[in-house]
């Protein structure tokens, strides 16, 4: 059986031998019993990855977002949370706990039935995603192919899609500015492609995810909501995305990170909110949070 995967736990669980291919070229082959996870990662990435979860020191500031007793019938129950400037707030929980539903409610993709949303100390009404964008909240979906990107279009068209109105003068798009902005984010996020004219559908999963994040950053968000930001990407792209998230927080962006990857949540978040049956059952500080504690309240 030939089994192709970038999930290391699967490789070590079922494979007898492992061969690494990078950028279309053969790298190495080894018995799985004779290679470590660190060595395999180094072969896959082309360098040693010392830290999959780079976490920069950030002076966390004041509250920028508060949810007070937010409810959606049959979905969310009495949600109370706050997000601070420069903070990475992790949302954890088992499948069906309401993680994605909470992210979509905050960003106006679904309507809350009761409760309050407070931005910078003032109560706001977020009627839809457009109004969320106006308040500086941007959501990156867990499903980049169906909800995050237009796969048949090129990189620049995807990145600038939400800001075409800003790029337009008398309803004519400034194509030079579109290219300037797209090249900036392609460089900042290290998107690997021949050019900004490359079709997104031809990119790897990791580079597609970077395009989805670039599309969000082009909106100049104040609050970035990331739903499963590294799902389906290889370990090298995962490390790069984590480093970018840390850098954005250091620059003052407030980030909500929804993830089913518990090591990712523990490695990146300043606080961890654990959800169960549509409500937040516990919030841990970074120092308090462990896999055992988070799982214990998730079950």
Domain ranges of the chain: 8-45, 63-136+221-298
User: Is 202 in a helix, a strand, or coil?
Assistant: helix
| The architecture CATH gives domain 63-136+221-298 | 3-Layer(aba) Sandwich (3.40)
pLDDT for position 51: 75
Mean pLDDT of the chain: 94
Across the range 206-226, mean pLDDT stands at: 96
pLDDT for position 49: 62
Asked if 294 and 261 count as a contact pair (C-beta separation under 8 A), the reply is no
Beta strands in 73-194 (DSSP E): 76-84, 88-93, 114-119, 122-124, 137-140, 168-169, 172-173
The yes-or-no verdict on residue 125 having pLDDT over 90 is yes
pLDDT for position 242: 94
Q: List Cβ neighbours of 30 (8 Å cut-off, separation of 6 or more).
A: 17, 18, 39
Q: What percent of the chain lies above the pLDDT cut of 90?
A: 84
Q: Which of 291, 217, 259, 210 is nearest to 102 (CA)?
A: 259
* Cα separation, 220 vs 191, whole angstroms: 19
């Amino acid at each position: 059986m030939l089994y192709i995967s970038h999930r290391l736990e699967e490789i070590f669980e079922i494979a007898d031998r492992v061969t690494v291919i990078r950028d279309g070229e053969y790298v190495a082959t080894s018995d799985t019993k004779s290679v470590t996870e660190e060595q395999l990662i180094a072969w896959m990435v082309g360098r040693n990855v010392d830290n999959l979860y780079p976490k920069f020191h950030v002076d966390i500031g004041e509250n920028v977002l508060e949810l007070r007793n937010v409810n959606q019938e049959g979905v969310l129950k009495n949600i109370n949370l706050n997000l601070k400037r420069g903070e990475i707030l992790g949302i954890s929980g088992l499948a069906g706990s309401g993680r994605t539903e909470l992210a979509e409610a905050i960003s106006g993709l679904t309507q809350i039935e009761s409760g309050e949303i407070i931005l910078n100390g003032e109560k706001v009404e977020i009627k839809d995603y457009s109004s969320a964008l106006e308040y500086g909240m941007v959501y990156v979906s867990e499903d980049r192919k169906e909800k995050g990107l237009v796969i048949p279009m090129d990189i620049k068209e995807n990145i600038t899609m939400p800001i075409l109105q800003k790029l337009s003068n008398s309803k004519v798009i400034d194509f030079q500015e579109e290219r300037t902005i797209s090249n900036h984010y392609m460089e900042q996020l290290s998107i690997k492609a021949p050019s900004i004219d490359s079709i997104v559908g031809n990119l790897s999963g990791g580079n597609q995810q970077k395009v989805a994040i670039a599309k969000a950053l082009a909106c100049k968000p104040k609050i970035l909501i990331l739903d499963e930001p590294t799902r389906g990407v290889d370990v090298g792209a995962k490390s790069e995305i984590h480093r970018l998230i840390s850098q954005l927080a250091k620059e003052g962006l407030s980030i909500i990170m929804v993830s089913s990857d518990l090591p990712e949540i523990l490695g990146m978040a300043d606080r961890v909110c654990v959800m169960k049956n549509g409500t937040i059952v516990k919030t841990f500080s970074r120092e308090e949070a462990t896999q055992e504690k988070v799982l214990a309240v998730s079950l």
